[in-house]
Amino acid sequence: MPETAPPEADGPRHKVRRESRARRIPRRAIGAGLLGGLVVALTVTLVARPAGAGVGPHRPVAAPAALSTSGSASASSSSRPGASCDRPAPTTAAGYSVLFGHLDPTQWGGGDGALTVTLGRRTVWLFADTLSIGRFVHSSAIVQDGGCLHVSHAGAQLLPDEATGTGRPRIFWVHSARPVGPDSIAVTARAIDLDGTGPWDFRDAGYSRTALVSVDGQGDATFRQWLERTTSPSPDPGPLLDCEAPAPPAPHHLCYGELRHPALRLAGGRVLVTVSQNWDDGRLRPLVEYQPLFRAG
């Protein structure tokens, strides 16, 4: 599939390149939570939480029909990695934007965190809160082989929730990962308690858990077991920035969670950098607008 994309200086995605000048927004909450608030003026309420990793609601959503094609192509970029992808990996940030933008939005529409782990020729992308048409999960995986992406288990949640006895689940937001074998990774995630349905109704549970995850030849990542539990302070999510700086809009377009991906080399000796994004104006945008912003670093 040929990659076609506008110049990186055009469109909303170039704005993250100015993040070094972006205005910092004071955090209002703990740990590895989500940003801002996102309220849909229909029968569906999406709630995005502050400061750290994620887009989205506390519960599955039935997205408006307009989202079924808006911002994403209906054809998936997912040639199964196990079938040997015959397309090279993108060599520009715009190429990665196109690659992810062509995923089937019923499987994966947008997510934050965007960690990567190298397994041989493949790259495993790990996301925290993930939004797709009709579904919201707290962790997901995509496996990249060259210029092909495969959404693991068609977008199913990667890490299981934990029962608390309160009637509300304890969820886990991915914050680090490492390879532990040719087809296995250890994924560490922060435990978070949801104690309401409002934008700030969550709290850090005070510990992280590490999971063993296997990745098969087809590109499906599967939780196998919890390996360890570690009590520790909440991870620092980094600065919360105004994507539109130096001319702040009202409302804000929020950027956070910048990550470098040294194994994903771009043209000119540069590497891929991702930044998570969210919005706080109460409008539901096309799902592609909740995908990471890609740039060269």
Phi, psi (degrees; rounded to nearest 5) at 208: -120, 155
Phi, psi (degrees; rounded to nearest 5) at 73: -75, 150
pLDDT tens per residue across span 276-290: 998 877 778 889 999
pLDDT tens per residue across span 146-199: 999 999 999 999 999 999 888 888 999 999 999 999 999 999 999 999 887 665
Which one-letter amino acid corresponds to residue 89?
A
pLDDT value for 95: 98
Q: Is the pLDDT of residue 75 over 50?
A: no
Q: What is the mean pLDDT of the chain?
A: 76
Radius of gyration of the chain (CA): 18
More confident residue, 250 or 74: 250
Phi-psi region of 56 (alpha: psi -120 to 50; beta: other; left: phi over 0): left
Region of poorest pLDDT, from 6-15, 19-28, 224-233, 287-296: 6-15
More confident residue, 87 or 7: 87
CB neighbour list of residue 192: distance below 8 Å, 6 or more residues apart: 31, 32, 33, 170, 171, 172, 173, 202, 203, 204, 205
More confident residue, 81 or 264: 264
pLDDT tens per residue across span 91-100: 999 999 999 9
Q: Is the pLDDT of residue 237 over 90?
A: no
